[in-house]
Amino acid sequence: MNLKDFNSLNEAIDKKKPILVSACLVGIKCRYDETGCLVEELRDLTLQGQAIVVCPEVLAGLPTPRNPSEIVVVNDERKVYNDDKSEVTDSFALGAEITLGVARKSGAKIAILKSKSPSCGCGKVYDGSFTGKLVDGDGFTTAMLKENGLRVITEEDFRECLN
C-alpha cells in the first residue's frame, strides 16, 4: 500500500465514508467454489454500516458455484477464460461496470478487494495457466475502478489503517 492509499483509507475510516468491500471478505460464500474468505475486521466494518459489499461476478449474473476463471492476454487484449476453456470476458467486464456504478452511487472512493482474483485482484493475478502462478496485473473490476479514480487495496494490507 502506498502512502496515498494509506491516507485515503485512514480518512475514509475516520470520517465514516463508504468503503467498497469484496463480498467474500465479509464471509459471504460467493467464491467460485461456494466458499467465503472471512476477514473479521471487514465484517465488522460491514456491521457498522460503513462497507458497501459487492461481488462483481455475482452482480454480473454468474452462478455460484462456478468454474474457476483466470485472465489471459490474447493479442494484447485481456480476456477471461474458465478452466474448461470457455470464455467469460463479457461477464467479467459487466461485473466491473456494475461495480463501478455501485461505487459512484455510494460515493465510495476507496475499495478493499480480494487479492489475486480475476475480478478483484490488485497488483497480482493468476497467469491464466491454472497452476497457481502469479503475474503483475489487476482484476477486471479493480482495473476499472482504478481507471475511474478509486484507490484499491487488498485484504492483505489494509490492517494498519484500522488501528
26-85 residues near ligand SF4, rule: CB under 6 A: 30-31, 55-57
> Contact between 99 and ligand SF4 (CB under 6 A)?
no
Spell out the alpha helix ranges (H) of 48-88. Answer: 56-59
For ligand SF4, the binding residue among 46, 117, 142, 154 (CB under 6 A) is 117
- DSSP secondary-structure letter at 159? G
Decide: 35 and 54 in contact? Cβ < 8 Å: no
| Residue 55 or 100 with smaller CB distance to ligand SF4 | 55
Per-residue cell: 122: 490488485
Least Å distance, CB 3 to ligand SF4, is 26
Decide: 107 and 114 in contact? Cβ < 8 Å: no
Least Å distance, CB 144 to ligand SF4, is 13
Least Å distance, CB 136 to ligand SF4, is 18
Least Å distance, CB 92 to ligand SF4, is 9
**CA angle at 88 for the pair 83 and 94, rounded to the nearest 5°:** 145
Decide: 44 and 81 in contact? Cβ < 8 Å: no
Separation of alpha carbons 130 and 51, rounded Å = 31
| Residue 89 or 119 with smaller CB distance to ligand SF4 | 119
Separation of alpha carbons 23 and 37, rounded Å = 9
Least Å distance, CB 104 to ligand SF4, is 18
Residues binding ligand SF4 (CB under 6 A): 22-24, 30-31, 55-57, 114, 117, 119-120
